[in-house]
Structure 1
Amino acid sequence: MATVASQIILHPTASQTVNLLGSTVGRDKLYRTAQYFARLLAWVLIKRGYNVEAARWDALKSHLATGRKLMRVGKPLEHLQAALKALNSSARPGEQTTTILRQLCYASYLVYDAAVWANTAKFINLSKETNQKFVRRSNRFWFFGIVFSICHGLLKASRLANEAKALRGYTWGDKSVSTEAERAVKYSAVEKERNTLRYQFAIDLLDVWIPATNLGYVDLNDGVLGFFGFITSVMALRSQWAAAGRKV
Structure 2
Amino acid sequence: MVVDSLVYHPTITKVVKFLDTTPKREKTFRLLTYLSRFLGYYAYRKGYSKETIELWANLKANFTFIRKALRFLKPINHLQLASKAYDNKLLDPILQATTIIRNLAYAGYLSIDGVIFFKLLGIIDSKKYPNLPKYASRFWLVGLIAGLINSLRIIVSLRNYEKQEGDNEKETDVVAIKEKLYQAKRKLVWDLLDTFIALNSLNILHFTEGDIGFAGVITSLMGLVDLWKAT
Q: TM-score, normalised by structure 2?
A: 0.94
Q: Distance in 2 between matches of 1:62 and 1:145?
A: 24
Q: Distance in 2 between matches of 1:108 and 1:126?
A: 20
Report the residue type matching 2:105 in the other structure: C
Query: Among 157, 160, 165, which residue is 2:158 paired with?
Result: 160
Q: Is the 8 A contact 2:120 2:126 kept in 1?
A: no
Q: Distance in 1 between matches of 2:191 and 2:67?
A: 19
Query: Among 215, 218, 225, which residue is 1:228 paired with?
Result: 215
Q: Which residue of 1 aligns with 2:193?
A: 206
Query: Among 19, 23, 35, which residue is 2:21 paired with?
Result: 23
Report the residue type matching 1:9 in the other structure: V
Q: Distance in 2 between matches of 1:168 and 1:188?
A: 14
Report the residue type matching 2:162 in the other structure: A
1:91 equivalent to 2:91? Answer yes
Instruction: Give the 5 Å matches for 1:159-198.
Output: 159-170=157-168, 183-198=170-185
Q: Is the 8 A contact 2:152 2:184 kept in 1?
A: no
Q: Is the 8 A contact 1:146 1:204 kept in 2?
A: yes
Following TM superposition, by how much is the alpha carbon of 1:21 offset from its aligned partner in structure 2, in angstroms? Answer: 0.2
Instruction: Give the 5 Å matches for 1:82-161.
Output: 82-89=81-88, 90-125=90-125, 127-128=127-128, 130=129, 132-161=130-159
Following TM superposition, by how much is the alpha carbon of 1:18 offset from its aligned partner in structure 2, in angstroms? Answer: 1.1
Q: Distance in 2 between matches of 1:162 and 1:14?
A: 44
- Evaluate the alpha carbon distance shift between residue 216 and residue 191 of structure 1 in structure 2; reply closer, same or farther with a 3 A threshold: same
Long gaps (5+) in structure 2:
none
Following TM superposition, by how much is the alpha carbon of 1:126 offset from its aligned partner in structure 2, in angstroms? Answer: 5.1
Q: Which residue of 1 aligns with 2:57?
A: 58
Long gaps (5+) in structure 1:
171-179
Following TM superposition, by how much is the alpha carbon of 1:17 offset from its aligned partner in structure 2, in angstroms? Answer: 0.5
- What SS does the corresponding residue of 1:59 show, helix, strand or coil? helix
Q: Distance in 2 between matches of 1:41 and 1:239?
A: 25
RMSD: 1.4
Q: Distance in 2 between matches of 1:168 and 1:13?
A: 43
**Structure having greater relative contact order (Cα 8 Å, sep ≥ 6):** 1
Q: Which has the larger radius of gyration?
A: 1
Q: Is the 8 A contact 1:42 1:57 kept in 2?
A: yes
Count of matched residue pairs: 229
Q: Distance in 2 between matches of 1:214 and 1:30?
A: 21
Q: Distance in 2 between matches of 1:167 and 1:70?
A: 49
Report the residue type matching 1:93 in the other structure: P
Q: Distance in 2 between matches of 1:222 and 1:108?
A: 25
Following TM superposition, by how much is the alpha carbon of 1:234 offset from its aligned partner in structure 2, in angstroms? Answer: 1.0
Following TM superposition, by how much is the alpha carbon of 1:27 offset from its aligned partner in structure 2, in angstroms? Answer: 0.8
- What SS does the corresponding residue of 1:220 show, helix, strand or coil? coil
Q: Distance in 2 between matches of 1:196 and 1:69?
A: 28
Q: TM-score, normalised by structure 1?
A: 0.88
Q: Is the 8 A contact 1:167 1:187 kept in 2?
A: no
Q: Is the 8 A contact 1:83 1:99 kept in 2?
A: yes
Q: Which residue of 1 aligns with 2:68?
A: 69
